[in-house]
Structure 1
């Protein structure tokens, strides 16, 4: 038990000076008291942290006015110089912890969605038609897994499947790039620098150089489809064939750099190599694709199979689509249509970019990708109804405004989920003959 120093240890002011031996004994006693008190406090703290467990070496008994030690002997505490060695020894003897399982999903989560599973594993029992219908239903019922930027590891493959596009060899795309500038190159360069210029997500992922390459490659592909194949009796090298194509280019192709509607525009029956707006239409493909080859396959198929009427010299398909917007609006909401028409607001004044680019001109880009999932699954012609749905979501403000042009000058940001839901409700209201025109207007 710790002993307090005796009363004679504290010298009074009149006492004679203590001898060296007496002072040494006094220091020992005081040091012993300090060490005993510190050990008792440490033991008390450890005891409270371990929920009442007793300390093995030191303990504490705190009483009123005194602190006592329960250990009969006092040992020197271990220094921390060998702490690293002790930790290594404990780690060697402790059982190894099992590492967490690696995620096997798409990166969004450990479990894959039904849509991703069907896309990866294919249809059950090899029934392609039933599997495609199920895939379309899943696109409508559950959203494609994507991050905040709209990026999904399997969206581009979903598009390729829905549009039934076979793989394109990389060498075919590279061959088009190595041919250099197409006759439409100058016009392409006039548009690419302002493609979605205010969208930071697009600018961070897609470069202007990739836009130029892709549009120029598609222009060469469309150019080759115009030129009749030469006789096979005289084989020529690829370089010689390229020179012959440049020399034999019809004058109308060189004149396609003029604005649509001018006297030098291409004829209605001829597909242009490039028209203004193709750069914006190409942008979502490049943003969602994992490579330029995938974007090239999708974009070339899209403009030649889904909407060839949109890239003709006079863009007759786009103008048909604008007239269909007015007619569909008259069917689903006659009051709103009459109000807009009375103010001179026809679709040609406000809906031209939305029809031409399939709403890709309206931010945000992740919502555009979600809307395109729906359009590729159930038909790109439904873009007409999607534009009408956007007007209906603005119905109150349009009816209250005496100048709806200010409101329609810039459409509000896309909300793909609400637009799709409203489109599904509006589509059955459209008469069969009008719906048939809508299906074929872009061909």
Structure 2
């Protein structure tokens, strides 16, 4: 999914230094000098020698080696094979760990790979799969946003570019954005404590301006790539403007001025507020969250932000198809009870499972999705259904249990997803990879 990362200081976390211990010799010397002068010359000489030794400056911290020394060997850890055949997992690369794996990962992110770039990216992906990113109980990690930026191949962004978008004021989608932002993860205490609604409004409004500009430039000259899009490092979307398609199929005009019922990318659709939430939570700054989120929706899932949300609907249909392959009995039972994926899977597809708490587990799941492909969220949803299998089969009305999914268990979901990959036929896996385009 990800291509080669751009090395830039904005992607690197700040370094920390070790504080040398302060010497305690001065106090000891004063104590010795206050005693009666009955000490022999030999004893005085010994004390002077000890004092000189203790007053010597402490050793500076050992610098990190300039040359990357990680070696790789075969591993029994199985990682998904995301080649076109999509049939069987491949054995991944592992590395000889140092005493502090976190420091080794920091060095890789800060200094970049010292060898082959694709091999380094594969090593980073395998690291996420096997070891995971170190985080506290709130899911906070000082490395996560930089890892995401690398895996998403997001270029650095000047803060002035983000500020210029904000200074332009309300976008054409501003009213619609304001109608949604106050509902963003509204019951999640961790999110509310760290991210203010104003941040969500600013980010989504800036995104709306960016997508609006891309549409305007396409209308002016369909063959020209805009300077602004080049600065953002993202390609032009292939269509234009958002719509909302109602159940009865009627076309209306949305509050951002687009005709409903079309299939062109929008500047804002419902669900983008939840989709941007993990970026704001994990990022250190709003510009970081902005460039990562913009790159994600324009490169990874542009079909999700079209007015008709055709990518989301394709993803929902794929949930049913993949579930029928992974667990035919469960799939048949749900369909026999009239429980279709359109009912229980739409929100999870649209938000990449970010609508299901807890947030720290969402972040861990997203580490995996960004490393190996966001299309695997479809299989992650199937994995959650399989984890509920016994309860669903025992329930005469399984739709009641699927009104909300149980709390996410990222590690178990990832394990089931990895094992599920080998069951997916090549043509279906290809459809998974491209469904959000």
Higher relative helix content: 1
* 1:175 equivalent in structure 2: 164
Cα deviation digits, residues 387-408 of structure 1 (max 9, x gap)? 0000000000000000111111
Once the 2 structures are TM-superposed, how far is the Cα of residue 121 of structure 1 from its aligned partner? 3.0
Structural RMSD (CA):
2.8
TM-score w.r.t. the length of structure 2 is 0.71
Decide whether the 8 Å contact of 1:184 with 1:257 is kept in 2: no
Give the one of 197, 204, 209 matched to 2:186.
Answer: 197
Aligned-partner SS, 2:217? coil
Aligned-partner SS, 1:273? coil
Decide whether the 8 Å contact of 1:277 with 1:357 is kept in 2: yes
The change in CA–CA distance for 1:322 and 1:180 in structure 2 (over 3 A counts) is same
1:77-88 matches, within 5 Å, as none
Greater length-normalized contact order (CA 8 Å, ≥ 6 residues apart): 2
The change in CA–CA distance for 1:212 and 1:160 in structure 2 (over 3 A counts) is same
The change in CA–CA distance for 1:396 and 1:178 in structure 2 (over 3 A counts) is same
Residues 1:417 and 2:411 aligned together: yes
* 1:159 equivalent in structure 2: 148
| Structure 1: runs of 5+ lacking an equivalent | 1-87, 233-251
Decide whether the 8 Å contact of 1:186 with 1:257 is kept in 2: no
1:84-163 matches, within 5 Å, as 92-93=30-31, 112-125=102-115, 127-163=116-152
* Number of equivalences: 332
Give the one of 305, 308, 323 matched to 2:317.
Answer: 323
The change in CA–CA distance for 1:383 and 1:369 in structure 2 (over 3 A counts) is same
Give the one of 381, 393, 399 matched to 2:393.
Answer: 399
Whole-angstrom distance in 1 between the partners of 2:220 and 2:309: 33
* 2:372 equivalent in structure 1: 378
1:161-310 matches, within 5 Å, as 161-228=150-217, 256=243, 262-264=250-252, 265-310=259-304
Larger Rg: 1
Cα deviation digits, residues 82-112 of structure 1 (max 9, x gap)? xxxxxx977953888999999999xxx9763
Cα deviation digits, residues 261-317 of structure 1 (max 9, x gap)? 652153433111111100000000000001000100011111111101001011010
Decide whether the 8 Å contact of 2:200 with 2:273 is kept in 1: yes
* 2:351 equivalent in structure 1: 357
| Structure 2: runs of 5+ lacking an equivalent | 1-25, 33-50, 65-98, 222-239, 253-258
TM-score w.r.t. the length of structure 1 is 0.70
The change in CA–CA distance for 1:137 and 1:118 in structure 2 (over 3 A counts) is same
Once the 2 structures are TM-superposed, how far is the Cα of residue 168 of structure 1 from its aligned partner? 1.1
